[in-house]
Amino acid sequence: MKSFFYFLFLLLPFPLFAQQSLNGMISDEAGKPLDAATIILSQNGRVINNQLADRGRFSFGQLSPATYQVSVTLVGYKPLVRQFSMPKDSLKLTMQHENQQLKEVAITFRKPTVERKADRVVFNVENSAIASGGTVYEALTKAPGLKANSDGSIMAGNKTVTIYMDDKPVRLSAADLTAYLQSLPAENISKIEVMSNPPSRYEAQGGAIINIVSKKIKSDGFNANLNAGYIRGKRDSYRGNGIFNYRKDKLNVFGSYGYTNRNIQRNLTNYTIYQTPDSYAYWDRDRLTRSDNEAHNYKVGIDYNLTDNQIAGILVTGSNAVNSSGSKGLTNIYNNHRLATDSVLHTTNRNQGRTDQYSFNLNYKIKLDTAGQSLNVDLDYVPFNSANTQQVDNLSVLPDGSLGAAPYHINTPATQKINIWSGKLDYDYRLGKLWTLESGLKYTGITSENHFDFFNTAGTEPFFDAARSDYFRYTEKTGAAYTSISADLGKWSLTGGLRAEKTSTKGYSVSLDSLNRNTYLRLFPTAFITYKLSENHVFGINYVRRIDRPDYVQLNPAKSYSSPYSYQNGNPFLRPEISNSVELSYTLKKDYTITGVYHLTNDLASNVTVQDNVTKTFYDTQQNLGRIRDIGLQLSTVNHPFSWWEINNYAEGNARRQQALYLNGIYENSFYYYLKSTHAFTISKNNGLKAELSGWYLSPVQQGSLHVARTYDVSAGISKPVLNKQGTISLTAADIFYKNPYKIDINYLDQRNGLYQQNDTRNITISFSYKLGKSVAEARKRQTASEEERRRSN
């Protein structure tokens, strides 16, 4: 281990020289600091640096002894020009009010809705007609290249994603993450950054990264935003959210609270064909599920400026959720191709569960000079606890009404306890005048304990079945380090990085009496190159290597039964996926971009279904199937037929080749495509009335042994500011034609089964938000050390 950390230390270069610096303050005649003033530093008519004042403060580094000129501009104030000579410790500037009314100032610049950068695509939600008036989840589904799966999870092209909020990963299960994002108002965010190939400073875990960036408003005093919504699908749901920020002098206190009550109904139909040389049976099942989910999410943080260059903070977040669900299913069994049923299974499932997750973060950041050199330290502790009880009752009824088998009644309480301790250090600095470097270290220790008890309740007293119960303990230790370097060299923009991660895991299952150990060191290089031939022609190439470690529940071998004949369980021997991605892009006039994509995944970890045609049992599990390769093209366009109409189109097509062995067979190759078009309309500029119409289509696709049918969605919405623009009311209709189900079929060797799940995707939402104070101030962004592991605990 010592040799590994010595290797990590070698990845961290340090600056070789000190810099002369200048600190400054800009204020008005009354001495009030002026925020967001534009400062331009020049020498002999050549611009050296420029920046925006942060609550009146600014600083310049790498200044040699000479005479310089500083120019300052701010709307409502007279331009200011001042000369000074170095060396000089500080500079105080006073701006004079201008006798021009603010209403006479015309804003001519408008940030484009979609921007493409070297390592990411930026969707400016503020400019979206309806995305800014809905929820964060709705805004994500409108971003180019992003699409929602049937379970509510988000995909970027053909990659799974990790959601970040202000550079902090949000680690929740697909269902909990969807509920959380649907409780957050989109009007509090400024943009969504989509990184299909993330740079080295981000964790190597996962596929693509989506970073949701809050609005950057830094007003002093108290500010708050309240939001509430009502959703009508097959059942009623509600949500409410409030955020606040108080900033004064060196102190900043911020927090949020969100409440969600989602009530969902799903219809599921599935079939299984059990066939051997001597028998044939067709099992046809219909199930109706109703689930009730109540969640409380909250956050409170304090940042304090110890000095002008040092800041310390405490951040506490929490999530408490209670869920219950019930389902009733009928399974008709037809044997030997007969038209009449031989028996009917009546199955009832009841689930009660609770999850409690907290995060405690300590942070310290210091600016070592004004040239951009800084050090950031994070320490985290994240405890997670969940408890769930499932009851399954099953009766087999023959055509004459008699019982075909003894009644099946079980009760399976399960608990999970996870503790995550982690710490990280990030160091930013400059090398000369052109190169910017970032380096970091991180260590994480994880312990997960899972208890699963199986009780047979068919008799007069519950009987504990030790053979079907399990205790699973999993530990994971990861040390990581990274260094990245970037520069703008004329028409070229270059970024390169290397991340090293060493991981040791140990999993022990009592029921299997098996101990699985694994230790591996992986290197993850990244490279981004952009060539700007002109303002209208930009070329780019990027490469990244990633790892996708399995969630803890995917490693747990305990069997969760949904009937006497079907269950699901994890695989403690599941290996992490390793993927390599390359993208070549060309952008014309900033509005048309075509991208060639190559994506290769080795040790593909996939959900598989296993049916035993003799015993007529069926279960879901996880396996490493081999490799999967996608080669495709992506096209995105932005058009403005009129000043009141904006069109964003996105299309992608992929040729997929799968070299995956499963049950001694090989999957077939396939081609699939995805189309998306969003139309934003400004109905009345004076009244702020906006509308939006969006639609997408996903062709059939082969995913391992699963053949997934086509789906499409058409949604619309309208929003309008009210109450002197302090409030906003929005109305949206999602999946208007109800064509976004989840339908899969498996016809692979002796495996023949499938399902059709109609989710509660068609709904109408009405929401209202209101601002208190001048504006909603943004809390300081920081990515805590433990956030990368939190998703895997769900």
CA-wise closest residue to 485 among 529, 521, 545:
529
Q: pLDDT, tens digit, for every residue of 75-114?
A: 778 888 888 888 777 788 888 887 654 444 433 344 566 6
pLDDT band at 5 (very low <50, low <70, confident <90, very high): very low
CB-based contact 457:465 (threshold 8 Å): no
* 456 within some domain: yes
Q: Is the peptide bond before 87 cis (omega within 30 degrees of 0)?
A: yes
CA distance 244 to 252: 11
CA-wise closest residue to 361 among 375, 374, 377:
377
CB-based contact 779:303 (threshold 8 Å): yes
Mean pLDDT of the chain: 83
* 181 within some domain: no
pLDDT at 68 over 70: yes
Of the residues 65, 80, 104, the one at which a domain ends:
104
Q: Which residues pair with 644 in a beta bridge?
A: none
Average pLDDT for residues 351-366, to the nearest whole number? 91
What are the tokens at 488?
């703008």
pLDDT at 663 over 80: no
What are the tokens at 715?
């949604």
| The pLDDT value given to residue 16 | 37
CA distance 180 to 294: 11
The sign of the dihedral angle between the CA atoms of 769, 775, 779, 781 is positive
Cite the DSSP H helix spans in 460-584. Answer: 552-555
Q: Which residues pair with 437 in a beta bridge?
A: 429, 485
| The pLDDT value given to residue 790 | 46
Same domain, residue pair 95 and 239: no
CA distance 560 to 574: 18
Q: pLDDT, tens digit, for every residue of 370-396?
A: 667 889 999 999 898 989 999 999 999
* 695 within some domain: yes
| The pLDDT value given to residue 10 | 43
Q: pLDDT, tens digit, for every residue of 171-224?
A: 665 656 776 676 666 766 778 888 888 888 888 877 788 888 876 545 567 888
Q: pLDDT, tens digit, for every residue of 699-747?
A: 998 877 788 899 898 989 888 889 888 888 889 888 899 888 888 898 8
**What separation, in Å, do the N-terminal and C-terminal C-alpha atoms of the chain show?**
30
Place of tokens 């593909």: 604
CA distance 16 to 8: 19
CB-based contact 298:326 (threshold 8 Å): no
CA distance 136 to 189: 8
The sign of the dihedral angle between the CA atoms of 693, 699, 704, 707 is positive
CATH number at residue 230: 2.40.170.20
Q: Which amino acid is present at 361? A: N
Average pLDDT for residues 13-31, to the nearest whole number? 66
Average pLDDT for residues 433-454, to the nearest whole number? 91
Q: How far is CA 638 from CA 108, 157, 415, 738, in A?
A: 19, 18, 50, 28
| The pLDDT value given to residue 134 | 57
* 171 within some domain: no
Q: How far is CA 773 from CA 103, 135, 240, 769, in A?
A: 21, 22, 19, 13
Q: Which residues, 6 or more positions from 103, have their beta carbon under 8 angstroms from its beta carbon?
A: none
Residue 535: domain span: 226-768
CB-based contact 146:140 (threshold 8 Å): yes
Tell how far CA 303 is from the center of its chain.
Answer: 25
Of the residues 104, 124, 155, the one at which a domain ends:
104
How many of the other CB atoms lie within 10 Å of CB of 534? 8
Q: Which amino acid is present at 530? A: T
CB-based contact 676:651 (threshold 8 Å): yes
CB-based contact 327:289 (threshold 8 Å): yes
Q: Which segments of 398-465 are extended strands (E)?
A: 408-431, 435-452, 455-456, 463-464
Which helix (H) or strand (E) is 789 found in, with range? helix 787-790
CA-wise closest residue to 253 among 300, 216, 189:
300
Domain count, the chain: 2
* 201 within some domain: no
pLDDT band at 293 (very low <50, low <70, confident <90, very high): confident
Cite the DSSP H helix spans in 28-126. Answer: none
CA distance 705 to 665: 10
Rg (CA), the chain: 29
Q: What's the pTM value of the predicted model, to 2 decimals?
A: 0.79
pLDDT band at 570 (very low <50, low <70, confident <90, very high): confident
pLDDT at 354 over 80: yes
* 514 within some domain: yes
| The pLDDT value given to residue 318 | 87
CB-based contact 746:706 (threshold 8 Å): yes
Q: pLDDT, tens digit, for every residue of 671-686?
A: 999 999 988 888 988 8
Tell how far CA 152 is from the center of its chain.
Answer: 12
SS3 category, 791:
helix
Please indicate whether residue 133 or residue 493 has the higher confidence score (pLDDT): 493
CA-wise closest residue to 675 among 639, 649, 706:
649
Q: If phi over 0 gives left and psi between -120 and 50 gives alpha, with beta otherwise, what is residue 406? A: beta
Same domain, residue pair 232 and 95: no
CB-based contact 144:121 (threshold 8 Å): yes
Phi, psi (degrees; rounded to nearest 5) at 170: -105, 110
CA distance 712 to 486: 41
Same domain, residue pair 94 and 235: no
CB-based contact 378:785 (threshold 8 Å): yes
Q: pLDDT, tens digit, for every residue of 582-592?
A: 999 999 987 89
CATH number at residue 40: 2.60.40.10
CA-wise closest residue to 205 among 501, 440, 424:
501
* 87 within some domain: yes
* 784 within some domain: no
What are the tokens at 134?
């809905």
CA distance 155 to 141: 9
CA distance 408 to 459: 10
Long-range CB contacts (within 8 A, 24+) of 243-246: 243/188, 243/776, 245/776, 245/777, 245/778, 245/779, 246/221, 246/222, 246/777
Q: Which residues pair with 707 in a beta bridge?
A: 702, 745
Average pLDDT for residues 487-504, to the nearest whole number? 91
Of the residues 72, 104, 136, the one at which a domain ends:
104
What are the tokens at 130?
């309806």
pLDDT band at 778 (very low <50, low <70, confident <90, very high): very low
CA distance 40 to 48: 8
Same domain, residue pair 255 and 401: yes
CA distance 269 to 621: 20
